[in-house]
Structure 1
Amino acid sequence: MDPASPFPGRDDATTASSVVELLEVLWGGGRDLAAGPVSVSQLRVLYVLAESDGINLRTLTETLDSRPSSVSRLCDRLEAIGLVQRSASTTSRRELQLHLTAAGLAFLDELRTAREQALAEVLDAMPAADRRALVTGLKAFRTATVRQTAGDAAGPAAARTA
């Protein structure tokens, strides 16, 4: 960060943004997995359901900060490909609970494993001191993100820990 910059943190944000772009390229958006491609929006649904199994559509909509019709369509598509299941709520006859299916859990596990493998290969090429510094920085980034989003709609998905 340039202390003379009128926008402190912008250089850091630019660097972080470029790293995220490289991660997107490295991971290929998860499109090469055998379980089938999912969109980024669908992936967000899967992450939320992995953290909040059994939530209802209204809560998922709030968490994603989206429109009910959009979230319902996302769930329709995920249900059609066998990654999400809707079931009657145990507390209200008017609500449906959302769950990851065994295939949905397997998809996320495979995705995370593939992403971690790709990251491990890059991290292995880094000097140990740089790798430790990166991990320390990423932990601080995660903590700051969780704090910033604690009251926001991203809550459950953002709170995932490594």
Structure 2
Amino acid sequence: MGVNPASSQRRPQNAASAAREVIELLEVLWERGRDSVSPAPVSTSQLRVLYVLEREDGINLRTLGGILGAAPSSVSRLCDRLQALGFVERTQSRVSRRELTLRLTGPGRTYLADLRSRREEALTAVIAGMSGPARACLVEGLSDFRDCADELHTTRMHTSPVTGETEGPARTA
């Protein structure tokens, strides 16, 4: 039996459209829970900083800016706000007196844990209404999605903007 080329081309577009709709619903769920996590909820950009600092403890502003793809002044302002909330601390680098290292504080870690907990509660309430086979498909699909996104991100991180060639050890599946 032949495969309709037009149909196979639409599948990724249909999946992307469905994923976009789910993301929009998740944004609504996240926004509901965000205000109840902390008296001073953080912006999406600030949340990205917290995620990066959780993974890359002790990095400097330049490295953080590279990861975020943001200008140094923007990164500095984001960190200023997060430091004012008590979520981030800046300390003198052990390597260079001209650099500061960034670390997530205890309250910053608590904020992320509370946020994740509320998000999981919201997701659990929705997923509980799904059938067992649908939940299994969701887990499999999301696992594949995560792996592909990780692979794409890793490949882009190791691709030279000048030559377009892979630099260094790009991960493979």
TM over 0.5: yes
Q: TM-score, normalised by structure 2?
A: 0.83
Match of 1:128 among 105, 125, 132: 132
Matched residue, 2:28: 25
CA deviation string 1:21-50 (max 9, x = no partner): 000111216233135211000000000001
TM-score by length of 1: 0.88
Instruction: Give the 4+ runs in structure 1 shifted more than 4 A.
Output: 5-8
Residue in 2 aligned with 1:89? 93
Q: Taking every aligned residue pair, what percent have the same amino acid on both sides?
A: 49
Structure 1 unmatched ranges of 5 or more: 154-162
Aligned counterparts, 1:70-85, within 5 A:
70-85=74-89
Q: Which has the larger radius of gyration?
A: 2
Distance 1:7 1:125 in 2: 28
TM-superposition CA deviations, 1:120-156 (whole Å, max 9, x none): 1111111111001101110111100110011446xxx
Determine the C-alpha separation between the residues in 2 that align with 1:35 and 1:146. Answer: 33
Q: CA RMSD in A?
A: 1.6
Residues 1:4 and 2:28 aligned together: no
Give the number of equivalent residue pairs.
Answer: 152
Query: Which residue pairs with 1:108 in the alignment?
Result: 112
Contact 1:31 1:38 in 2 (8 A): no
- More displaced 10-residue stretch of structure 1: 86-95 or 57-66: 86-95
Pair 46,35 (structure 1): closer, same or farther in 2 beyond 3 Å: farther
Amino acid at match of 1:114: R
Q: Which residue of 2 aligns with 1:98?
A: 102
**Contact residue 84 and residue 99 of structure 1 kept, 8 A:** yes
